[in-house]
Chain A
Amino acid sequence: AQSVTQPDIHITVSEGASLELRCNYSYGATPYLFWYVQSPGQGLQLLLKYFSGDTLVQGIKGFEAEFKRSQSSFNLRKPSVHWSDAAEYFCAVGAVGGSYIPTFGRGTSLIVHP
């Protein structure tokens, strides 16, 4: 069965510092991979996605993620964090096909110190 692990429940960074959120997945083939962000009391917003091709994908708000097949990882990065980036971040695994239900990680809460 597929699974997604986000090993860090909370991460605290200073504004302006770089950020890396970890995501490891388990899936039998090359999956679709997503990062979503959720602000308090809101729905999830798609930050970026990987389907195939270039393993480094760019997303919105200055985020990028790198797919590493050998490590089954899809880590999210940002070179300089802004206070407005404080939110919950979810990694998800999907796949083509109508019968595939996506799997979400438990989320990483990002705290940004001024």
Chain B
Amino acid sequence: KAGVTQTPRYLIKTRGQQVTLSCSPISGHRSVSWYQQTPGQGLQFLFEYFSETQRNKGNFPGRFSGRQFSNSRSEMNVSTLELGDSALYLCASSLWAPGDEQYFGPGTRLTVT
């Protein structure tokens, strides 16, 4: 069974731009979560989607948004990029819920200059 895939793997953007990251979960998994990982803050939960609906949300500003499609694939978007948004963005999928065992993608490394 194919694992979680994320595209692109690396991105360099300029402050003020916007970016869209993509995640394809494991086949059959309906819950997709997004995390931001930085050396200073560790792994922080952004949001989770289930059946095309945002079911859970972390403490991030509205510049961070996402969506999920009918095939469970998910995208996250960050608008008006700030230097502090530089991070590894990880997508994780699970069968039903984020509190269950999660399978992570390799991440997208975003650098904002």
Residues of A within 8 A of B (CB): 32, 34, 36, 41-46, 49, 90, 94-102, 104, 106-107
Q: How far is the CA of A98 from the CA of B54 in the complex (A)?
A: 11
Q: Are B99 and A101 in contact (CB under 8 A)?
A: yes
A41 touches B45 (CB 8 A): no
Give chain B residues whose Cβ lies under 8 Å from the Cβ of A107: 42-43
A-B contacts, 23 of them at CB < 8 A, read: A32-B101, A34-B101, A41-B107, A43-B6, A43-B105, A44-B90, A46-B101, A46-B102, A46-B103, A94-B100, A94-B101, A96-B99, A96-B100, A98-B31, A98-B50, A99-B55, A101-B58, A101-B98, A101-B99, A102-B99, A102-B102, A106-B42, A107-B43
Which residues of chain B from 8 to 37 have any CB-CB distance to chain A below 8 Å in the complex? 31
Q: Lowest 10 CB-CB distances: which A-B pairs, in order?
A: A94-B99, A43-B104, A100-B99, A44-B104, A104-B43, A95-B99, A43-B106, A98-B97, A106-B42, A43-B107
User: Given contacts A43-B6, A45-B104, could you give 15 more A-B pairs where the C-beta distance is less than 8 Å?
Assistant: A32-B99, A34-B102, A42-B106, A43-B4, A43-B92, A94-B99, A98-B55, A98-B56, A98-B97, A100-B99, A101-B45, A102-B102, A104-B42, A106-B42, A107-B42
A44 to B103, CA, bound (A): 8
For residue B109, give the distance in angstroms from its CB to the closest CB of chain A. Answer: 7
Q: How many residues of B contact A (CB 8 A)?
A: 27
Main secondary structure of the interface of A (DSSP, over half): loop
For residue B103, which residue of chain A has the nearest CB?
A46
- Report the minimum CB–CB distance from B16 to chain A (whole Å): 27
Complex contacts, B45 vs chain A, CB 8 Å: 101-102
- From the candidates A34, A42, A98, A102, name the one contacting B96 in the complex (CB within 8 A): A98
B48 at the interface (CB under 8 A from A): yes
Most A C-beta atoms less than 10 A away, residue of B31, B43, B105: B43
Q: Which of A41, A97, A98, A106 has the most CB of B within 10 A?
A: A98
Question: Which residues does chain B contribute within 8 Å of A97, judged by CB atoms?
Answer: 97, 99
